[in-house]
Amino acid sequence: MRRFSRSFRFSRLNEKFYEKLSKDMNDIPLPKKTDETYFRRLFQGVNDITFLNLNFPNQNEEEDILLFYFPAMIDKKELMDRILPRLEGIVTSEFFTLEDNVDKLKSLELFFVPLKTSEDIGEMITNVCSGKVMVYFQKEKKLFEVDISNPPQRAPEESGTEVSIRGPKDGFIEEIGTNLALIRKRLMTNTLLNEQLVIGKRSKTKVSLIYMKDIIDPEIIKEVKKRLKKIDVDVVSGASQIKEYLFDQAYTLFPLLDFTQRPDFVVASLVQGRFAISV
């Protein structure tokens, strides 16, 4: 993680702008011409989200349904074993029409979990980031949400090198997906982006670049990506090795980055216009 002093003013201006934008978004209803492209564009650059297209035949015509969610934030077993089979059973039933079956879709007896309509953009973004599955009927232009959230709790152990007295007790682990979920449950916004890279000819190490697109200076991210893509090694052993390729000088008077295992520290840094690299 690296701090650039020239980005501070830029990030503060961007942060104020987005605070106003976020308030406005909470009052904006979903467009009537919403489609899959709209949702994908809304979460453009958010690489840990999953879009799942389903096509179910029924007595009238085929029903196209789009699901989108964060895999690390939901109960995947619940989705595969209960939600999808129940959804298919309802949609493929004889003479299915969404207008006549909204009550069935909302029924706890059919879905085992609450399901309600989602009406505005801000609410939808917050809900999907908190671990809800969005179910969009493309023909009828109707969006529903299913609450099967299961974000990481206390399973990731607290950092042994950074003891927190009053703050959260969770810490990062070796799984990038879980680490992203620990950050995302604290920053429920579609402006939290992560870009996946694979570095190392032999190790094929997954590296994630995480930042707030509305706060960080775009020139910083452009330069970081450029330097990361130039790394040409056989094996990436850890974050300290990545550090050597990000800076022009090996030694500096003041530290230019922090090594941390605490999600709360990373979140505080991201909203200040910094970026994080997870290895």
Amino acid 168: pLDDT: 64
Amino acid 45: pLDDT: 87
Q: What is the DSSP letter of 139?
A: T
Amino acid 24: pLDDT: 47
Amino acid 208: pLDDT: 92
Tell me the three-class secondary structure of 102-127, residue by residue: HHHHHCHHHHCCCEEECCEHHHHHHH
Token pair belonging to 97: 């029409």
What whole-number distance in Å separates Cα of residue 202 and Cα of residue 40?
A: 33
Is the CB of residue 62 less than 8 Å from the CB of residue 92?
no
Token pair belonging to 139: 């023909």
Question: Model-level pTM?
Answer: 0.76
Token pair belonging to 114: 């609450």
Is the CB of residue 11 less than 8 Å from the CB of residue 19?
no
CA 8 to chain centre: 25
Amino acid 13: pLDDT: 44
**Mind listing the pLDDT tens digit for each residue in 21-62?**
444 445 566 777 788 899 999 999 899 999 999 998 876 678
> Which residue(s) pair with 149 in the sheet?
74
SS3 55: strand
Amino acid 271: pLDDT: 94
**C-alpha dist (Å) from residue 231 to 17, 66, 91, 220, 252:** 35, 38, 50, 17, 21
Q: For the chain, which ranges sit under pLDDT 70?
A: 1-29, 59-60, 94-119, 153-169, 250-252
